[in-house]
Structure 1
Amino acid sequence: MGEVTVNTEWLSDCSGCHVAIVDLHEKILSVLEAVRIQRCPVLTDIKDYPPATVGLVSGAIRNEHDRQAALEMRKACDLVIAWGSCAVFGGPAGAGNIHTPDEIAAAVYLENKTTVPAPPPSKMVSPLESQVSPLDSVVEVDLYLPGCPPHPAFVFEALIALVEGRQPEVNGRSVCAKCKRKMEKTGVETLRSHFEGVPDPERCFLSQGYTCLGSVTIDRCLAPCPGNGVPCTGCAGATMQILTEPNRDIRTEIADRMSRLTRIGRDEIVRSLERSAKSHYSYTMATQMIGNKPTFHIRKWIEEEQADFEAGGEA
């Protein structure tokens, strides 16, 4: 392959995926020797889309600007990479799919108790689309690189593989594959919130009654959170088993494992995960592989949680 030119684009996301390039540290020198980055919003103020070999697109499709930018990148680039969990799955912005654009505007600008009431954005601001969606809902994607952001090791491997004209080396392992904690049966009888107590640093979080999504999350991070005492929140997106098998679901898979490792009832675990579904499904609910599952009923779970809350208040 001759000179490899790279364009990057930043849609609805937090910029973390662009920062991951800097996190390559000295390895970025190897990348820069092999590629020429010619468009990168975080580095340069370039408005057009020059022809390029590779396009790295981070962020979800959230508004009209995102859609047009994605189309321009697809036209300009030979290969397009969905870069990060927002581009691959829709990311945390996908929680907006539970509400209409009008409801969101009202909550943020008109009914927010912590801010001075303000009018909704003017027509000069790119309007929200009716739904948040992943990049491949708008353009064809050649390579998926999930992660929040993807670990620099995976970014480096993807870029170098494209330079060398080969497929990147990837795996389908879960975060647990890189976690050194021991999964073992315990007598724990109570679910614990992340802020309750100090977890045993040697034992699996599930064995201790803490919700950890490592076993249902694909490894694109090398498990830094469990290794540092923080349960996995699923930021790299669900494993292929969860995504592709209709009856596999994040909450039921976690409940099955935790109930076997502890004395906590499976139904209690499932209900707990449903009450926090916006958090546990936040990175993936915008993708049809999760949002259209027959097991995914987030609006029903939210209504049940609201009913329980109101009943508790009346009591």
Structure 2
Amino acid sequence: MSGEKIRLNTDWLCDCGGCHVALVDLHEKILNVLESVTIQHCPVLTDIKDYPEADIGILTGSIRTEHDRHAAEEMRKKCKTIIAFGTCAVYGGLHGAGLAHSREEIIDHVYRHNPTTRTDIIPDAEVTELAKMVTPIDEVIDVDLYLPGCPPHPHFIFESLATLIEKRQPRVTQDPVCARCQRAMIKGDASAIRNTLDGVPDDAICFLSQGYVCLGSVTLDRCLAPCPNHGVACTGCAGPTMQILTEPNRDIRTEVSDRMSRLTAIDAETIKRHMERTAKTQYAYAMATKMIGSKPTFLIRKWIADVEAGTHG
């Protein structure tokens, strides 16, 4: 990386800040980036309140308040290229679970009817109003590039920045996490769905084959599969594969239940009902995006109501 330096702005919206920390996880490669990049606006490094003109803008987090909306719009005005950086920016992220509840329910639970809350005051002076919905940033501004991950893996961060600086095509694929998983997908004899605390999974065998729900087959590889290769089932933090996003009548639970039923003695409907009962977990990272939330197969409010009523099998 060399030549004229690229001007870079970053900003975070509704998120935990982990995506900005991930930039530091480039370790010694960050020196290569800094040789070609001038960081201008960056919440964790600079105290600049306005938005200078920039070549690249990295936005992390989703739109949850009017402040978030304003920041996203200002970044769009001043940056030639906007990157939706991290799963919250791309799909709405974990706090997208707000889709399953109204704004009033969330505020009431956090500030009024909460075991750790000792007051009955809802803040309204020092923070901007909570929006009714969690919104991925491309529903508010135009986005040029997407880099999902919770947070994005250093390998893909470096590749994306190198791609822009060197003006070349990215060396990435649309493979699922399974493509890098070393476990063998075989026909197993599991007859019931197992939870993470139910024994120790065999290190060499696919989680699905053993009766554990794993989202590796429906999750885009933007992580290099560290979890399944180290004994932890994939939770889908990089967001769904293109197949899940683009097929209107297939989604996370239908794909996983179909695949898992073929690898075990558990029928697809049993798996599907289990995933509906645990939908906030199975759809945790992407339910706020319309590509998931608007699917005719995604009925999270009904599933939650059925569980609360005790009518979900």
TM-score, structure 1 normalization: 0.96
Task: Provide the rounded CA distance (Å) in 1 between the counterparts of 2:12 and 2:96.
Answer: 16
1:215 paired residue number: 217
Structure 1 range deviating more: 299-308 or 77-86: 299-308
Identity of aligned residues (%): 61
Deviation at 1:114, TM superposition (A): 2.7
Task: Provide the rounded CA distance (Å) in 2 between the counterparts of 1:118 and 1:169.
Answer: 53
Please, which runs of 5 or more residues in structure 2 have no aligned partner? none
1:145 aligns with 2:147: yes
What secondary structure, in the 3-state scheme, does the structure 1 residue paired with 2:194 have?
coil
Q: 2:298 aligns with which of 293, 296, 299?
A: 296
What secondary structure, in the 3-state scheme, does the structure 1 residue paired with 2:156 have?
helix
Deviation at 1:3, TM superposition (A): 2.3
2:82 paired residue number: 80
Deviation at 1:97, TM superposition (A): 1.6
Paired letter, 1:246: P
Q: Report the aligned-residue RMSD.
A: 1.3
Q: 2:128 aligns with which of 126, 132, 139?
A: 126
Deviation at 1:247, TM superposition (A): 1.0
Please list the CA deviations of residues 116-148 of structure 1 after superposition, one character each: whole Å capped at 9, or x if unmatched: 133111233111111111010111000000011
Paired letter, 2:106: I
TM-score, structure 2 normalization: 0.97
1:52 paired residue number: 54
What secondary structure, in the 3-state scheme, does the structure 2 residue paired with 1:75 have?
helix
Q: 1:200 aligns with which of 195, 199, 202?
A: 202
1:29 paired residue number: 31
Task: Provide the rounded CA distance (Å) in 1 between the counterparts of 2:105 and 2:83.
Answer: 32
Task: Provide the rounded CA distance (Å) in 2 between the counterparts of 1:200 and 1:44.
Answer: 47
1:284 paired residue number: 286
Please list the CA deviations of residues 75-94 of structure 1 after superposition, one character each: whole Å capped at 9, or x if unmatched: 11000000000000000111
1:96 paired residue number: 98
Paired letter, 1:202: A
Task: Provide the rounded CA distance (Å) in 1 between the counterparts of 2:120 and 2:29.
Answer: 46
What secondary structure, in the 3-state scheme, does the structure 1 residue paired with 2:222 have?
coil
1:261 paired residue number: 263
1:307 paired residue number: 309
1:235 paired residue number: 237
2:14 paired residue number: 12
1:159 paired residue number: 161
Q: Is the 8 A contact 1:111 1:117 kept in 2?
A: no
The alignment covers a number of residue pairs equal to 311
1:171 aligns with 2:173: yes
Q: Is the 8 A contact 2:5 2:35 kept in 1?
A: no
Q: Is the 8 A contact 1:53 1:77 kept in 2?
A: yes
Task: Provide the rounded CA distance (Å) in 1 between the counterparts of 2:244 and 2:4.
Answer: 39
Paired letter, 1:217: T
Q: Is the 8 A contact 2:246 2:291 kept in 1?
A: yes
Deviation at 1:248, TM superposition (A): 1.2
What secondary structure, in the 3-state scheme, does the structure 2 residue paired with 1:50 have?
coil
